[in-house]
Amino acid sequence: MLPFYSRLVATLHPCMPDVANDLVQLLKGDFKWHVRKKDQINIESKLKTVRFIGELVKFKLYPKTEALHCLKMLMFDFSHHNIEMACALLDCCGRYLYRSQESHHRTKIYLDVMMRKKSALHLDSRYTTMIENAFYYSNPPEVQQVAKKIRPPMHEYIRKLLYKDLSKVTTEKVLRQMRKLDWDDTEIAFYATKSLIAVWNVRFNSIHCAANLLAGLAPYHEHVAIQVVDGVLEDIRLGMEMNHPKFNQRRVSCVKYLGELYNYRMVESAVIFKTLYSFITFAVSYDVNMPSPLDSPEHLFRIRLVCVLLETCGQYFDKGTSKKKLDCFLIYFQRYYWFKRSNAIWVEETRPFPIDIRNLVQDTLEAVRPKLKLSENFEEALKACEDLENEYKPRVASVLPIIETDEGNTSEADDNLTTIQEIEEEGDELSGDVSSQKLTGEEESEEDYSQSQRSNTGSQGNEGEGSDDNDDEDQNGEDDDDDDDNDEDGDDVMESAGEEEDEDQVLHLKNTLKVVKCAEDDDFMAAFDKMMVDNIQARNNENLKVPQLDIALPMHITDRNKKTATYVTDVEEPVEDNAIKFVLMTRKGNKQQFTKLNVPISAEFAATYKERERAEMAEKEKMKQVVLGIHERQEEEDYQEMIASMNRPVPVNTNRERRPRYQHPKGAPDADLIFGSKKR
């Protein structure tokens, strides 16, 4: 109520000045009485007094010089309640006094004195925080003012349409205005496309309106729709590569936007599933000892992105090919979720797994697949993934003999398969299948088969059994989706592996595909040759020194001879004065043979070895003496320090007897005086 009391007094001051004058005199006397009393009670009364003074200062009823004098009195004994009173006074009128021209200089001096006292005195952390808050409130640090970005009027108009006016009821109106833009102007078209991509500036509840707007623009400006979809996908991938918390809301908006674009038939289901698999595979490490920096165990935001995308468009994947694709993805998604949840950093007592993530995953899976049996732990999720892979591996492997027989080989895994040049449309339909078959043959023995090759072979068995989810009723007809066409062609080859018609088709394809040389190949070979020549010259200029290492003999030779020797350089103790024994290892076929070799001491090889051995022994002896000397000096210093501490006199506190004795205050505190019901 103090600010309102001060405003009331200021309102009455022109016609009743005595009220303000008497109030100022009473507050001044009350303040001086509290300061001179020096008791550590009635802190609330002290704080109310200084706050009332501060509020009256801002209404120019209490003189600024008197307020600064009050602050100076508190500085004389800067401790306990005086600190709290000074901070309360500065919190109320410190900035006003600092900004006023006539009181700026004195206020600045008092603030500097207060900060120096804070540094010199050993104050409690609470008092230190109060002093710093009061100082920075009165004299805030200078911050460079952010310059407002000035945009052309047309850019401001486009932002107003998309970010402010766009809503469920104004979508048609905004669409008409967007169609009226000069799309032939490169600058306007570029900025409009950029604004359509930056969907994080749109209200989250209006993201579906932005997708509806883009669907309305696509029939008239197809290139705009393509650029927007590419920009959204690029932003989603960039968010996974950076993985910074400040981009979390932006990433959620982009994923929501992508799902709404699928709902308005702007993207195909293959794009959605590729994005879903990228969330659980891109830079993901299932090795506990080698966590990925882009997806560390404590980062759970990708789970939220998957749930947002499934909540947006997952209900449409309920039949046909899309249903089988989503069923396969949910199995791998549960493995990713349980891998995160079973990590050692989540401890039930100290750091439990976030309950909101757990509920989000459960609600999402129940919404898209109400009858799905959820995995109970990480082991069950791994078992489900293995069963799925074992189901589709034979179907993928059945295609390998066909392709390899047509290539002229009879083995199932041909290491000499080369990349097929994509020239004709028929080659495009089968090139993806051939590439996926090569990858499958190379990695079929790995345990994590489906994770690394998910986009090529993991879902090949279920991608071609029907048309896209938007055309499930006409599964036998032609599909407009290019990805689904490729999948259907791959599935036809898989099902008719033993038929002669498909063999003839593959042979015809082999004859039509040829390698075409271009200028880029010549440039690449020239750059490669130059790099090899530079590397060889650099290696020739290096001064290579072969390290001389002593290699121990095998155990059976050591046990048999009861001696230590090396293959070439490690020598045994000389048994004669004029020869040194070596053991030479040779290889005949796959069997190692060991031959004893006596080298005369006069030989250059043996003399060099003896000289090197003597130098090593001398170096070891020298280092041993240095270490022993250091150890002896440390022991001598410790001994001298112990003797000095024993002879050092014990300090005596001479001020102990001079300390004044504590005197307990007589009588009990006056409760009526404290709570204000008794007049002084």
DSSP string across 604-631? HHHHHHHHHHHHHHHHHHHHHHHHHHHH
For residues 635 and 633, give the distance between their C-alpha atoms in angstroms, rounded to a whole number.
5
Residue 594 parent element (H or E): strand 591-600
For residues 530 and 162, give the distance between their C-alpha atoms in angstroms, rounded to a whole number.
54
CA 373 to chain centre: 32
Q: Is 570 helix (H, G, I), strand (E, B) or coil?
A: coil
For the chain, what percent of residues have pLDDT higher than 90?
49
In Å, what is the CA distance from 490 to each residue of 453, 455, 457?
16, 14, 10
Give burial (CB, 10 Å; 0-12/13-18/19+) of 483: middle
Q: Who has greater pLDDT, 13 or 667?
A: 13
pLDDT of residue 287: 86
Is the confidence at residue 424, as pLDDT, over 70? Answer: no
For residues 505 and 653, give the distance between their C-alpha atoms in angstroms, rounded to a whole number.
105
pLDDT of residue 479: 42
Residue 369 identity: R
Which tens digits make up the pLDDT trace of 35-88?
988 888 889 999 999 999 999 999 999 999 999 999 999 999 888 899 999 999
Is the confidence at residue 603, as pLDDT, over 80? Answer: no
pLDDT of residue 348: 85
pLDDT of residue 550: 58
Contacts of 127 (CB under 8 A, 6+ apart): 83, 84, 118
pLDDT level of residue 559 (50, 70, 90 thresholds): low
Q: Who has greater pLDDT, 431 or 399?
A: 399
Is the confidence at residue 656, as pLDDT, over 90? Answer: no
Q: Looking at residues 120-149, what average pLDDT do you find?
A: 89
Mean residue pLDDT across the chain: 79
pLDDT of residue 37: 86
For residues 124 and 128, give the distance between their C-alpha atoms in angstroms, rounded to a whole number.
6
Q: Looking at residues 492-497, what average pLDDT do you find?
A: 39
**Look-up of token digits 């290096």:** 542
**Look-up of token digits 């060099």:** 608
Q: Which of 132-136, 325-329, 427-431 has the lowest mean pLDDT?
A: 427-431
The DSSP symbol for 661 reads: P
pLDDT level of residue 599 (50, 70, 90 thresholds): confident
Q: Looking at residues 591-611, what average pLDDT do you find?
A: 78
pLDDT of residue 291: 87
**Look-up of token digits 């950076």:** 242
- Residue 597: phi and psi, rounded to 5, are -135, 125
For residues 495 and 461, give the distance between their C-alpha atoms in angstroms, rounded to a whole number.
10
pLDDT level of residue 446 (50, 70, 90 thresholds): very low
Q: Is 102 helix (H, G, I), strand (E, B) or coil?
A: coil
Is the confidence at residue 417, as pLDDT, over 90? Answer: no
Is the confidence at residue 6, as pLDDT, over 80? Answer: yes
For residues 565 and 563, give the distance between their C-alpha atoms in angstroms, rounded to a whole number.
6
Instruction: Supply 124's token pair.
Output: 């409690």
Q: Looking at residues 293-316, what average pLDDT do you find?
A: 92
pLDDT level of residue 443 (50, 70, 90 thresholds): very low
> Where on the phi/psi map is residue 320: left (φ > 0), alpha (ψ -120 to 50), or beta?
left
pLDDT of residue 572: 45
pLDDT level of residue 478 (50, 70, 90 thresholds): very low
Which tens digits make up the pLDDT trace of 519-535?
888 889 989 998 988 88
